[in-house]
Chains A and B, each alone.
Chain A
Amino acid sequence: IAGITQAPTSQILAAGRRMTLRCTQDMRHNAMYWYRQDLGLGLRLIHYSNTAGTTGKGEVPDGYSVSRANTDDFPLTLASAVPSQTSVYFCASSSGDDTGELFFGEGSRLTVL
């Protein structure tokens, strides 16, 4: 089934630990995104990639890094997790068309203690 796969679906993490959230899509979409979603706030863009080999910073990039070595994979890394990074993280992709809809993964719920 085509779509976006995120892993893990849920994780509890000690503060200071390094964590990578994985995201893989099989739709051959050029653009990929990482969002965080917190109660009472809209989805906030962390990082994005318009095409393989390029990445850009979104609204809330601090404490996060990404890479885009190929079209399919777009991992998000927290180098040293802090409690304020407790959130639900969504990976998304689009065809890259200016009007392209976003397709979302099922989300990764991260708790940093």
Chain B
Amino acid sequence: GQNIDQPTEMTATEGAIVQINCTYQTSGFNGLFWYQQHAGEAPTFLSYNVLDGLEEKGRFSSFLSRSKGYSYLLLKELQMKDSASYLCAVIGSNYQLIWGAGTKLIIKP
């Protein structure tokens, strides 16, 4: 079967750094997305990785290792507004998205 695993919940401190991991087992791989979703709102795009390595975009970076079926989202200089759920999604062999259940990130002052 196809599976995406993320931690259910993480807690971090304002100003700190947090890494949210995502591991996947899919029948094919055509890219990986990270989305942010604030409570009661729609998911919004954060990043896309298709090649191995680190993609940096401001305070957020996303890493991919295709051989390990692994990605992480790194958030630096955490702000209270970063409290949200972070969704990992993989484009599988049929080009449909497979979604993880999301990681709820709680930021404490």
Contacts and interface: CB of A to CB of B under 8 A. Distances in A.
Given A99-B50, A102-B97, A42 B45 contact: no
Nearest to B41: A106
Interface stretch (B13-21, B55-63, B68-76, B99-107): B99-107
B48 A42 contact: no
Interface in A42-62: 42-45, 48, 58
B64 interface: no
B46 to A, nearest CB: 9
Contact of A105 (B42, B97, B102): B42
A104 to B, nearest CB: 4
Given A99-B48, A99-B50, A43 B99 contact: yes
Interface of A: 40-45, 48, 58, 90, 98-99, 101-107
Given A99-B48, A99-B91, A45 B41 contact: no
Contacts of A44: 99
Counting contact residues on chain B (CB < 8 A from A), the size range is 20 to 34
A44 B87 CA distance: 13
B97 A99 contact: no
Nearest to A56: B96
A9 to B, nearest CB: 10
Nearest to A88: B40
A98 B45 contact: no
Nearest to A48: B96
Interface centre among A40, A43, A102 (most CB of B within 10 A): A43
Interface centre among B50, B96, B97 (most CB of A within 10 A): B97
B31 A99 contact: yes
Contact of A43 (B30, B48, B50, B87): B87
Given A43-B43, A102-B33, A103-B45, 10 more contacts: A42-B4, A42-B89, A43-B97, A90-B42, A98-B91, A98-B95, A99-B91, A101-B33, A102-B43, A104-B44
